[in-house]
Structures are given as C-alpha cells and as structure tokens.
Chains A and B, each alone.
Chain A
Amino acid sequence: MKVSQNDVTYIAQLANLELTSDERAGLERDLNSILEYVDRLSELDTKDVPPMAQVLAARDGAEPGDSARDDIAQGLRPSLPREEALANAPDSDGEFFLVPKVIERG
C-alpha cells in the first residue's frame, strides 16, 4: 500500500474536501489500486523525452503564440452587469460576494 489513511486525510485537506470516514477508507483502497496500475509508466525510459505541455505546439509548424491576439483596451465584450455577475451567489449584499469570517479572533 502506497497511500495510507494519513495521506488520504492530508490530500483531502489540500483538495478542500472533508470526507466521511467511510469515504476515506474507500479512497485509500481506490487510490492504491489506481496508482498500482499507473506504476506501469515507470517501465518506460523517458530520460530524454520532453514533457508535452502544449497540444497545439506539437503540431508541425505551429507555434504556441499562434493564437495570441493583439491587446485591446476595452475587452472583447462589455463586462457583465453587477447584478448578473452576482445572480448565482449563495450570499451577497448586492455589491459583493459574502463569505463567512476569514480571520478568527481568539
């Protein structure tokens, strides 16, 4: 087993998930079985192979900059009106998104 229960708890924190203890046990099992399968990648010698970070750049003759456009002052379209931008907010004061307190006071 590569991934322990402690790892699952740590990764869940990084991923902003809480997870029930049942979920954590299931994920420990699933992650280990998937990673065991993924380990076959180590059979390949990739010492001199560059990582493929850009799909279009791999194309003959195309540069990543192909798709860049000129800077424009106004944006491609007007910004959304504030009420539309806030329409899906679970909580707002009509001007900002509202969230619970960020800083704890002791």
Chain B
Amino acid sequence: MTDFTVLGIEDIRREVQARSLTALGIAEHHYASIAAQDEEIGAFLTLSKERALAQADRIDRMAAEGKSLPPLAGVPVGIKDVMVTRGVRTTAGSKILEHFIPPYDCTAVARLEAAGAVVLGKLNCDEFAMGSSNENSAYRPVHNPRDLSRVPGGSSGGSAAAVAANMAVATLGSDTGGSIRQPAAFCGVVGMKPTYGRVSRYGLIAFASSLDHIGPFARSVKDAATVLQVIAGRDPMDSTSANIPVPDYVAELEKPVRGLRIGVAREYFGDGLDGEVRDAVESAVEKLRALGCEIVPVSLPHTPYAIPAYYVIATAEASANLERYDGVRYTQRAKDSKTLANMYRRSRDEGFGREVKRRIMLGTYVLSAGYYDAYYLKAQKVRTLLARDFEQAFREVDVIGTPTSPTAAFKIGEKSDDPLAMYLADIYTVTANLAGIPGISIPCGETKAKLPIGLQILGKHFDEGTVFRVAHAFEQAS
C-alpha cells in the first residue's frame, strides 16, 4: 500500500510516468481521504470530481502512450474558492456567489492543469478572503487538522488544512495580508506568497488589488517551489503581472546557504509575541547560523504602523472591488425590489456577511469626502515608509527571518467578536503585502500543546529563489 503522505510532486510524476501508480488511482485515493475526514475539517466547499477524473485519465493515457509527462502530472491539488474555475461553482466563501458558475478559468489554475495537476475541488476560506481564522466563511468554519477545536488560520484556511490533512498534495491560496503564510504556520505546512506581479491575478476574485497575491501551499519547500515555477510569469491578461523571467526555483534549492546574510528585526519580537513562538523562532535563527549563515540585526522602524495602514488601504480597495456585487450579474438578487437602488441595497444586505460589511463600511468611510487625506492618503504615504524600511534593510541582508504569527492557532470563537484583536493576528505578515516582497512560512517547531509554529522568511522583490533556498536548507536540517 502506497503511503501517500510522503509522496512529493516529483515522486508522483515519476511513479505515474513509470505506471507504477495511476493518476486516476491517486485522485480516487484523495477523494476517499476527503470523504473520510472532511466532514470534521470542512476544507472543501465544492468537489470537481468529473473534471478531476477526466484530467487524471488524460494523464494516464499519456503515460500509457509513453509520452513524457509534465511536471505536475497526476498531482492532486485544491484551489481556494476565490479563483474562478470554468463550469465549477466559485463562491469566494460568500452567500452572494452561492450559485455562481464562472465562464472562464483563472490563469493560475489553467497553468496548473496544463502542467498535469488534477484539480480535486474548491477550498473553503473567509468570505472574500477577509479574515484570519476562516470563521468568516458563509458556509462553515474550517477546523485545524492538528487540533479540531482550533482555527486553521485564514483566510486560506481550507487550503492549509487540506494539505495538512493529506487531502491534497498542494493547494493554491491567496494572500492579501498574510492569508497564505498565517494559515500555513497554524497548520504546520509550507505556504509561499511571491512578489507582487510574480503570479498573474487574472481570475482571482479581487479583494484589494494592490495587495492581492496568489501562491502555493505544500508539505515541503521543494513542492512549493515546483508549484510556483508552474504558475509564475507574465500573463497578458493581467497588466500587473511582471515581464520578468522566472528562474528555475528547484535548482536554486541546491545552492549553498553558507555566507548568506539573514536579517533579524527586533520590531518583530516585541510585545504580543507568545513566549513559545519566540523561543522556536530564535532557535530557528540559531540553526541558520549553524548552517553558515551570518545573522545581522536590522531595523524596520515603521512596523508598528503597518496594521493601521493596511486596514485603511485594504478596506478602501475592497469597498471599490465589491461594488460589482449588486444583484445584476452574479446570480443573487433580493426578491420583490421595486426600484433599482432598493434592489442593490437589499441584495448586498442579504448577500454579504458581517466582516465584509464592516470592511466595506470602513473602506467607504476612509475614501469619503473630508476623510480621504486624513486616512487613505496618509496610509499610502506610510506605505512608502514601510517599503523604504525594507529597501534599506535589504541593502544589508539577503533575507529577513521573523515569526509568521504572534501566536500558534487560537481556539474557534476566541477572537470572533473582536475585529481589532483578529486584525493583529496579521501583524508580522501585512508588511510583505504592503511592500510587495516575497515571503514564505515554514514549520519551525511546536508549542507544548503540540501546535505548529511558523518561521517566516522575507526576501527581496523577485528573489523567491533565495527565500526558497534558505527555507529548504532549514527544512532539511530540521
């Protein structure tokens, strides 16, 4: 009996190519794993079985014909339900899109499938990716596979949980303020947010367009690098996707880390950081020193202003992006509205959940006449200061090591009534979104209660290669 929990992407491709495993068998195994576990966990919102089995069959036929298989051949993947999939329901975790069947595919999903991946289904998330615990899903909360009484993190909670519970080998998530890295840390898996513009956002349901990123979850750094390799690169359908060549990330992993300079910023080890998380991250940094890296103190002085700047910018952009859900084009409309304005309001009232309304309201307020300069313009200027902090630090170091989240996974319900406390769960991750730099979260130990702890490694714009290299060296030494 094959142990699927240890098979990486390269193993799967090799076994399917050699016909010692079939893509169909692997897909069916993962569907069985979903059937056995997901009632408790709640990672999947929609299964795309027909599409998955057709793709698996196509891969198996290629193998039977002796054709060379593409890099993700037969690899079962899941997609956060904020990426549109042609013919497969896409909800963004919201009631307002409960019956929405997109007419086209997100570029990242299309590229995964073109590389041979088998899309098992769509993954639960906070409504419109707004949240840090997955409790804002309009459908159901996701439970952390490592401790079912705890949150998996958010907003890509389903994407992290599916990988952690071996219901998929890799998944895609989106990260606007930490929504890939924080759930990766909470669930004990690898999660990578690439540079802004590295991966096309075509077909990603927009939350905050200057902060939104697509990236992979996987069980190993190598698998995450393999997935990013496939989805990265210029896409003419997204004018913000960068016209910059994609290096061979897997080849980068093998380069030595000796002599690399790792920055440590004291602003990421201040008040609010849990003692066990601090200890684990500090020993992780020591381990990197033992691997021959040089540890260099750096300063990112504007860090305390990141969360307030972020919540102004992100909500402002969200209030504009979510204007399109007006009861005209996207399936849900309040019944018996007599006028157009009334129909808009009632449809949005019925369709949006509490946190989404809160953010639309905050975003509308900070953009409204009389407040624009005080809030929105001010936050955009502070964003410049935060980006300059990193520019300065990266003159001294190659990467920066930080905790991913100030605590390990918290209890379901613990913070759901206090929006500000919830926002602070993103305190170490929002900075990378504001500056547009890449960041990864990798497991670096556990608390006494056996909850995973994440180490975040931040890098320079378009230098995912070095981020992966350091993460891989740490992972191999763990």
From residue A75, how far is it (CB to closest CB) to chain B in Å?
Answer: 10
Is A73 engaged at the interface, CB distance under 8 Å to the other chain? no
* Interface residue? B182 (CB, 8 A): no
Question: Bound complex: CA of A89 vs CA of B326, how far in Å?
Answer: 11
In the bound complex, do residue A87 and residue B345 qualify as a contact, i.e. CB atoms below 8 Å apart? no
Q: Is A17 a contact of B348 with CB atoms below 8 Å?
A: yes
Q: Are A66 and B243 in contact (CB under 8 A)?
A: yes
Asked if A68 is at the interface of the complex by the 8 Å CB criterion, the answer is yes
Interface members, chain B 310-329 (any A CB < 8 Å): 311-312, 319, 323, 326-329
- B430 CB to closest chain A CB (Å) equals 13
Flag whether B332 is at the interface (Cβ < 8 A).
yes
- Report the nearest A residue to B325, measured CB to CB: A16
Q: Are B358 and A27 in contact (CB under 8 A)?
A: yes
Inter-subunit contact A87/B383 (CB<8 Å): no
CB-CB under 8 A for A56 and B101, given A11-B368, A17-B345, A41-B379: no
A40 to B308, CA, bound (A): 8
Indicate if the CB atoms of A15 and B361 lie closer than 8 Å: yes
Please give the distance in Å from A46's CB to the nearest CB on chain B.
4
Instruction: Note all chain B residues with C-beta closer than 8 A to A62.
Output: 242
- Within the complex, what minimum Cβ distance (angstroms) separates B161 from chain A? 28
| Cα–Cα, bound, A80→B105 (Å) | 13
What are the residues of chain A within 8 A of B382 when measuring CB–CB? 41, 44, 46, 49
In the complex, whether B33 has a CB less than 8 A from a CB of chain A is: no
Tell me which residues across on chain B come within 8 A of A16, comparing CB atoms: 323, 326, 341, 344-345, 348
Contact code string B110-147 (vs A, CB < 8 Å = 1, else 0): 00000000000000000000000000000000000000
In the complex, per-residue mask of A39-60: 1 if CB is within 8 Å of any chain B CB, else 0: 1111110100111111110111
Residues of chain A lying within 8 A (CB to CB) of residue B342: 100
Q: Does B436 contact A (CB under 8 A)?
A: yes
A contact residues around B192 at 8 Å (CB): none
Beyond A18-B349, A101-B340, whether A34 also contacts B243 by CB under 8 A is no
Beta-carbon nearest neighbor of A67 in chain B = B239
A76 to B328, CA, bound (A): 26
Q: Is A30 in contact with B419, judged by CB distance below 8 angstroms?
A: yes
Give the residues in chain B near A66, CB-CB below 8 Å. 242-243
Mostly, the A contact residues are loop
Query: Cβ of A99 < 8 Å from any Cβ of B?
Result: yes
CA distance A89 to B327 in the complex (A): 8
Number of contacting residues on B, CB 8 A? 76
User: Distance in Å from the Cβ of B441 to the closest Cβ of chain A?
Assistant: 21
Smallest Cβ-Cβ distance to A29: which chain B residue: B419
> Once the chains bind, are B378 and A99 in contact (CB under 8 Å)?
no
- On chain B, the residues within 8 Å of A8 by CB distance are 361
A46 to B, closest residue via Cβ: B381
- Residue interface bits B47-85, CB-to-A below 8 A is 1, else 0: 000000000000000000000000000000000000000
Chain B min CB distance to A87 (Å): 7
Which residues on A sit within 8 Å (CB–CB) of B332? 90
Q: Is B365 touching A69 in the complex (CB atoms < 8 A)?
A: no
**Inter-chain contact B331/A90, CB cutoff 8 Å:** yes
Q: Shortest CB–CB separation between residue B419 and chain A, in angstroms? A: 6
Q: Which of A23, A37, A51 lies in contact with B383, CB distance below 8 A? A: A51
Q: Is the CB of B243 within 8 A of A67?
A: yes
Q: How far is the CA of A76 from the CA of B380 in the complex (A)?
A: 33
Contact flag A69-B236 (CB < 8 Å), given A41-B309, A52-B387, A88-B100:
yes
Judge whether A25 is part of the interface by a CB distance below 8 angstroms. no
A102 at the interface (CB under 8 A from B): yes
Task: Please tell me which one of the listed residues B236, B333, B346, B378 contacts residue A46 in the complex, with CB atoms under 8 A apart.
Answer: B378
Contact of A42 among B237, B344, B378, B385 (CB under 8 A): B378
Of the candidates A17, A33, A68, A85, which one forms a contact with B349 in the assembled complex, judged by CB atoms under 8 Å apart?
A: A17
In the complex, whether B474 has a CB less than 8 A from a CB of chain A is no
Contact B387 A34, beta carbon cutoff 8 Å: no
Check B311 against A34 for contact (C-beta < 8 Å).
Answer: yes
Residues of A contacting B341 in the complex (Cβ-Cβ under 8 angstroms)? 16
A44 touches B385 (CB 8 A): yes
Whether a CB of chain A sits under 8 angstroms from the CB of B477 is no
Contact between chains at A49 and B385 (CB < 8 Å): yes
Of B210, B234, B345, B435, which contacts A18 at CB under 8 A?
Answer: B345
- Contact between B196 and A7, CB atoms less than 8 A apart: no
Contacts A12-B361, A88-B330; A67 near B241 (Cβ below 8 A): yes
- Tell whether, in the assembled complex, residue B240 and residue A11 are in contact, meaning their CB atoms are under 8 Å apart: no
1/0 per position for B397-424, CB-CB distance to A under 8 A? Answer: 0000000000000000000000110010
Chain B residues with CB under 8 Å of A33's CB are 419-420
Write the A9-26 contact mask toward B (1 if CB under 8 angstroms, else 0). Answer: 001101111110001001
Identify 5 new A-B residue pairs, CB closer than 8 A, beyond the known A58-B387, A62-B242. Answer: A16-B345, A17-B349, A49-B382, A91-B333, A97-B328
The 4 closest A-B pairs by CB, nearest first: A51-B380, A90-B333, A46-B381, A55-B436
Cross-chain pairs A/B with CB under 8 angstroms, 13 sampled:
A16-B341, A17-B361, A18-B349, A19-B349, A34-B419, A37-B307, A38-B308, A38-B375, A40-B304, A41-B375, A50-B384, A67-B239, A100-B338
Name B's A-contacting residues (CB within 8 A).
99-101, 103-104, 196-197, 210, 234, 236-237, 239-243, 302, 304-305, 307-309, 311-312, 319, 323, 326-333, 337-346, 348-349, 352, 354, 357-358, 360-362, 364-365, 368, 374-375, 377-385, 387, 419-420, 423, 434-436, 461-462
